[in-house]
Amino acid sequence: MATTPAPTQDRSAVRTLLRLWPYVRPVRARLVSAAFVAIVASCVGLVIPLALKWMVDGPIADRDPAGVWLGALFLLLLGFTEALLFGLRRWLVARPLSHVEASMRAALYRHLQRLPVAFHDRWASGQLLSRGTTDLMLLRMFLAFPLTFLLVNGVTILVGVIIMLLQDWTLGLVILGPAVPVMVTCLIFERRYAKLARRAQDQVGDLTTVVEESVLGIRIIKGFGRHRSQERAFRDLSKTLRGTELRKARLLATIWGVIVTLPEVAIGAALVVGVVQVADGVLSAGTLVAFLSTALALRWPVESIGFLLAMSQEAATATERYFEVMDAEVEGAAERACAPAATPGPGSVSAAVPAPGTGSARVRERGLRFHDVTFRYPDAPPDTPPVLQHIDLHIRPGESMALVGGTGSGKTTLTALIPRLYELTSGRITLDGADITGLSRQALRAKVAVAFEEPTLFSASVGDNVLMGAGDTAGHADLERALAVAQAGFVHSLPQGTDTPVGEQGLSLSGGQRQRLALARAVVAQPEFLVLDDPLSALDVHTEAAVEAALRQVLADTTALIVAHRPSTVLLADRVALLSGGRIAAVGTHHELLRTNAEYAHLMSGEEEGAR
């Protein structure tokens, strides 16, 4: 399973959450307005105890029914106003926060498309999926509720404490007694909960990966009767996640117990002291009622601290996981950073124009050429040998070259270097004399078309899958020509012809049909350079012969490198290169290598090593 980076251990939740500002900034006015409305609503709620004080010390003490009804009407009005303001707050944040979530998800998807293949080799797809779904949902919930109410509740507690101290400072000090232990508990809780939140969200990503792989590989699971082992793997991961969530729940229950118990004890103590003061005539009954009502009104702001801190930590973890992907360097970022900003001055030589005296060299370098190319995978240990070493190979313009080698010799890796799916460790690759690193990826991939060994199709129509290999100007005639080259006429017998959806990964088609559509996608744009990684391996003998006959016409007008395992595919090429141990061991025609190279003859014969 692909791995993900280790989580940051001592990160600041506030500093992490501040990274959301570029996404929040466009809707900051609505969020500030919502916070202001929520603060006003909370302060309206704190007026209710003062109204109660007036009623107890006034109309109730004077036995004035009209005053009591007036006070009740005022309390009803305050309650209605508070409810209306909180409803307005929710309306203010709903639309902008859905926009923030959508823009972050779009930015993540766009960034994933620009990340190099090496990044996707390292990361499990489920981890990326969970970052684009679960994590962004947590962030939207944080922006909608905890972010606002951490501020609102803080202001409410401050105003409420001031009101209580103004009513009676001795009772106020009794209420403030638990403040220090509550704050210490919150600090300890925050640090411990952050680690558990990160672990749980990573485990959700692992679980998502298992589900995704099981769905995509359902034919393998059923074909080999492995549903029980997959179920066990899923159950084990679910059990691990459940254990982490239970630890989170226990930790949250602990802090909630502390935060609820200590203030309740303080309120009880304040009640006893207040009753004694009322009995002694030091304090009015209305003041005691107002004080206790204010203290009770602050119960939710105080008790919600643990819940809000937990959601804030989960949001900080989600932000951290989101930016782990967004901080990954996209293709070409290093080149753009190093590229000179100024235009070439007098006497400088442009990369697109050969210097005087180099014209003949450029002519000799036309076609596809590898110059002392070495490649090691980015995550490979430094002491391991490179996958490819000192590759020197020249495919002349209009020539087709077959690349032959044993399993694991590096053929597929070599083909992936041409469209820069991976970056060279050293050396150069040139197309008609131009270094591929000097071309933008868009320009490079417009020149080079690739058909991979594993034909990947998307949940789209047949036509959309094929035309993905062409520009926006490609039309029906280009589609039909490509289908004819790939001998993919079967598409016309599908229910909707070329408009027929192929299903997820094209699994509604056979392997040979998918391979033919992948080949059609490679040739539809009539590229200058064509890279085919064993494009006919899934075809039957008769279909292979028909595809080869049509493909020869395409190869006559392009420069091609073809990974081949069978003599019939090798015969499509003008010359053959033998790749052995990461090096080019021999180059020549098929018949020359059969006579002069024992390893090549063995590969083409299909004999087992022990039968030689």
Whether residues 291 and 405 fall in one domain = no
Whether residues 146 and 50 fall in one domain = yes
Q: Is the pLDDT of residue 547 over 80?
A: no
Helix (H, G, I), strand (E, B), or coil: what is residue 339? Answer: coil
What pLDDT sits at residue 344? 40
Whether residues 315 and 378 fall in one domain = no
Say if CB 163 and CB 46 are below 8 A apart: yes
Q: Is residue 353 part of a domain?
A: no
Q: Of the given ranges (164-168, 214-218, 315-319, 569-573), which has the lowest mean pLDDT?
A: 214-218
pLDDT band at 340 (very low <50, low <70, confident <90, very high): very low
Tell me whether strands 434-435 and 426-431 are parallel, antiparallel or unpaired: antiparallel
Q: Is the pLDDT of residue 336 over 60?
A: no
Say if CB 583 and CB 590 are below 8 A apart: no
The rounded distance, in Å, linking the Cα atoms of 5 and 148 is 31
Question: In terms of Cα–Cα distance, which of 521, 558, 550, 538 is closest to 401?
Answer: 558
CA distances, 310 to each of 19, 239, 287 (Å): 19, 22, 36
pLDDT band at 353 (very low <50, low <70, confident <90, very high): very low
pLDDT band at 428 (very low <50, low <70, confident <90, very high): very high
Q: Is residue 7 part of a domain?
A: no
Whether residues 148 and 38 fall in one domain = yes
Whether residues 212 and 299 fall in one domain = yes
Name the DSSP class of 585.
E
Q: Of the given ranges (34-43, 495-504, 534-543, 566-575), which has the lowest mean pLDDT?
A: 534-543
Whether residues 323 and 371 fall in one domain = no
pLDDT band at 342 (very low <50, low <70, confident <90, very high): very low
Q: Is the pLDDT of residue 345 over 70?
A: no
Q: Is the pLDDT of residue 555 over 70?
A: yes
Helix (H, G, I), strand (E, B), or coil: what is residue 379? Answer: coil
Whether residues 380 and 315 fall in one domain = no
Q: Which two tokens stand for residue 205?
A: 């990503």
Mean pLDDT across the stretch 532-546?
75
Q: What's the CATH number where 297 sits?
A: 1.20.1560.10
Helix (H, G, I), strand (E, B), or coil: what is residue 456? Answer: coil
Q: What's the CATH number where 470 sits?
A: 3.40.50.300
Q: Is residue 349 part of a domain?
A: no
Helix (H, G, I), strand (E, B), or coil: what is residue 473? Answer: coil
Q: Is residue 278 part of a domain?
A: yes
Whether residues 464 and 322 fall in one domain = no
Structural domain ending residue among the three candidates 313, 330, 347: 330
Structural domain ending residue among the three candidates 312, 330, 348: 330
What domain count does the chain have? 2
Whether residues 90 and 217 fall in one domain = yes
Domain range for 308 is 13-330
Arithmetic mean of pLDDT over the chain: 81
Q: Is residue 357 part of a domain?
A: no
Q: Of the given ranges (15-19, 295-299, 436-440, 451-455), which has the lowest mean pLDDT?
A: 451-455
Whether residues 218 and 268 fall in one domain = yes
Structural domain ending residue among the three candidates 330, 347, 374: 330
The CB-based long-range contact list for 333-342 (8 Å cut-off, 24+ gap) reads: 335/437
pLDDT in tens, 373-404: 999 888 778 788 889 999 999 999 989 999 99
Whether residues 469 and 383 fall in one domain = yes
pLDDT in tens, 189-241: 877 888 888 888 888 888 888 888 787 777 677 776 777 888 888 899 999 99
Q: Is residue 355 part of a domain?
A: no
Q: What angle do CA 424, 427, 430 make, to 5 degrees?
A: 90
Contacts of 70 (CB under 8 A, 6+ apart): 59
Q: Is residue 281 part of a domain?
A: yes
Share of residues in the chain with pLDDT > 70 (%): 90
pLDDT in tens, 256-312: 888 888 888 888 888 888 888 888 888 888 888 888 888 888 888 887 877 788 888
Mean pLDDT across the stretch 162-186?
83
Q: Is residue 340 part of a domain?
A: no
Its pTM surpasses 0.85: no
Mean pLDDT across the stretch 432-439?
89
Whether residues 283 and 378 fall in one domain = no
The rounded distance, in Å, linking the Cα atoms of 392 and 373 is 7
